[in-house]
Structure 1
Amino acid sequence: MPNRSRLTEFAGLPVVEFTGWDTLRDDFGLAMYWARNRREPHTGHPRRYDRLFEAVAAPGSVAWRLRMESPSYGSGSNSPIETLGQYLDRFTEFVAPAEVAALIVGSMEGDAEAMPSDEVRDRLIGLAPKLTAVRSLFFGEILQEENEISWIEHGDLAPLLAAFPSLEAFTVRGGSAGLRLRIAEHRALRSLTVQSGALRPEVVRDVCASVLPGLERLELWPGSREYGGDSTPEDLSPVLSGTAFPRLRHLGLRNAEGVDDWIPALAGAPVLPSLATLDLSLGTLTDEGARVLLDAPAFRALKRLDLHHHYLSEETAERVRAEFTRAGVEVDVSGPQEADVDEYDGVRHVHRYSAVSE
């Protein structure tokens, strides 16, 4: 699933992590402790950093991951030797900032649960005049093992996009409670993705009210109602009407616990004929939603329909695959899931979960 492993490629570039001093100290400290106590060299430490050095020599050839880990107890010291500000300053000192094209921002200061999102945002804004070539930015690449997606907190990220007027693709993960993303105007942005375990209606309305005349790809993760992801098609109506983003060609409503409820609104939406691809993957699609997909001719004008990770019956999945393929639509119905069924107080309960949830 998307939040269970780190990206190895971003914006079409291989990812290289800018290693923090604390991680380097731990790596070499472990190797020396091992040699002293075991009386032999460690086979895996210290790690080789050739790829990092190659990337420093050609900063635009990779996507840079910025991430800080807590010092490991027992490898010399568990006190950090580098602050967030020092780490970011060192990055722009050793990596020519004007050549950096893509950035991934992961957990900082080794504590993803308390990621200082506003501080990281503000420091990136301060560095933006140096990072003039950045075209793709992923803010909040935090794994499930570090923090549940619905617990990742962000504030207002619109100022971050304003600081990078040449940015073409922006992805944010998390921000169930405080995220705001009403972008006054950004003429360069082509792709916007909001990955959430529970996308609040206010955020959806923020996005719809943003002035993004060049936007071609929009991906939203409605998530779970239980955690506050109670956005509805009405909240997205400016997008569905085709008026918000006239150049939109890809729409993703992924990781939606109630994806069946979105499909009837999509079936009659004026935006649908202008879309090339529709992504309803990672959600809880059932035969009920699939029947609307099959009955509405407008869906057959798509070039691609992604439904992977679903709760379709085998018969319905095969019918969807056959009919859309026959219509010339590339369709993905992989990843069938089984619902959890239990019974208490004489009532049968069926539970279906989106792919990225708690």
Structure 2
Amino acid sequence: MTDNQWHLQERLQKYPGYRGEYTTTFANRPVVEFDPEMGISDPVNTAYAIRCEYDDEENAVDKLAKLLQDDQASNLQALVFGLWDGDMPNGSSQGVIEALISAKDQLTSLQAVFIGDIHSEESEISWIIQSDISPILEAYPILEILQIRGGEGLAFSPFVGHDHLKALIIETGGLSSATINQICALNLPNLQHLELWLGSDNYGGDSSIVDLNPILIEQKFSNLVYLGLRNSEYSDDIAEALVRSPLLNTIRIIDLSMGTLSDAGAELLLKNPVVQQLDIINLSENYLSAEIINFVEEQQGNFHVQIMINGQRGEDEYDEERYCAVAE
């Protein structure tokens, strides 16, 4: 994953996956649905998607089998899986995982995998049932980007190590503390981009700031350039931990977007001199006041850090409770 392959813009902007639509870009490549009649025309610069529709006679495993028959399959670098079974939209991803493992000797150039590019009309994010993802890491030693959507049933067990993975992206409406602990147990010495959508307690997101200590305090992933702790119900706790974290001395991008960050948490970050020397801090789509927004607009020229602060959601006058942006 060289710099010109991974610019992060698809992660820092409000990409289609956030709105419950199909993603159009993955691993800095345009996403094209695989058509057996058209075949694989650009295995390096295109991410090919395998998706099922409701009542589709073929499932994702069947469609993957057709892709593997293509002469260019061994050169394919990026692969996206959407709904894996049109008749069983609530079934787990285990069949896809097993099929990918079986295909490891054919997909020898695979560098980027996204499992769960599912439209909200097919399944809400909290309804997506995942499975144990560790076998993918074991089967594909040159994998660089792994993106998963859906937290229910998601596991990284048993413990594995992977020397090449550079980006791990987990999008959920609720990420359990048990799964976070498993992620923190992984041995990923070259991980540069870690992005966790922590989600709502109502949908299995039962973690707390203590579960993030291996990342924030112990620096479990010491080569991180980007840390995204997004879509959180305890964003202020994360902000408080971040300003005390040794990670600030090495990281370049912090992403706390789509969460419940208040003015108190934002002030801790924005007034911290180390934070001001970062490259980017994304505080978009939280609960920041007009006063904080005005402060950023007035002071941005005095900071090295680029502050992203658009789309603040605000609290309804009849509802003072704050919510993370993506749950169901």
* TM-score (normalizing by structure 1): 0.82
Matched, 1:353 2:318: no
Closer, same or farther: CA 196–84 of 1 in aligned 2, 3 Å: closer
Larger Rg: 1
Matched, 1:13 2:29: yes
Specify which structure has the higher proportion of helix: 1
**Aligned counterpart for 2:195 among listed residues 213, 219, 239:** 219
Matched, 1:106 2:90: no
Q: Secondary structure at the match of 1:220?
A: strand
CA distance in 2, matches of 1:187, 1:14: 26
Closer, same or farther: CA 253–83 of 1 in aligned 2, 3 Å: closer
1:113/1:146 contact within 8 Å kept: yes
CA distance in 1, matches of 2:87, 2:215: 36
Q: Which runs of 5+ in 1 are unaligned?
A: 21-51, 72-79, 343-348
Closer, same or farther: CA 82–174 of 1 in aligned 2, 3 Å: closer
CA distance in 2, matches of 1:95, 1:81: 25
Within-5 A mapping of 1:283-298:
283-298=259-274
CA distance in 2, matches of 1:282, 1:350: 17
CA distance in 2, matches of 1:232, 1:275: 22
**Aligned counterpart for 1:97 among listed residues 57, 70, 73:** 73
Measure how far apart 1:92 and its partner are.
Answer: 0.9
Matched, 1:307 2:283: yes
Q: Which residue of 2 aligns with 1:60?
A: 44
Identity of aligned residues (%): 36
**Aligned counterpart for 1:145 among listed residues 107, 116, 121:** 121
Q: Which residue of 2 aligns with 1:180?
A: 155
1:273/1:301 contact within 8 Å kept: no
Amino acid of the structure 2 residue aligned with 1:200: S
* TM-score (normalizing by structure 2): 0.89
Q: Secondary structure at the match of 1:218?
A: strand
Measure how far apart 1:111 and its partner are.
Answer: 4.6
CA distance in 2, matches of 1:297, 1:268: 12
CA distance in 2, matches of 1:324, 1:266: 20
CA distance in 1, matches of 2:145, 2:293: 33
Q: Which residue of 2 aligns with 1:70?
A: 54
1:278/1:306 contact within 8 Å kept: yes
2:125/2:327 contact within 8 Å kept: yes
Q: Secondary structure at the match of 1:238?
A: helix
Measure how far apart 1:83 and its partner are.
Answer: 4.6
Q: Which residue of 1 aligns with 2:3?
A: none
Q: Which runs of 5+ in 2 are unaligned?
A: 1-13
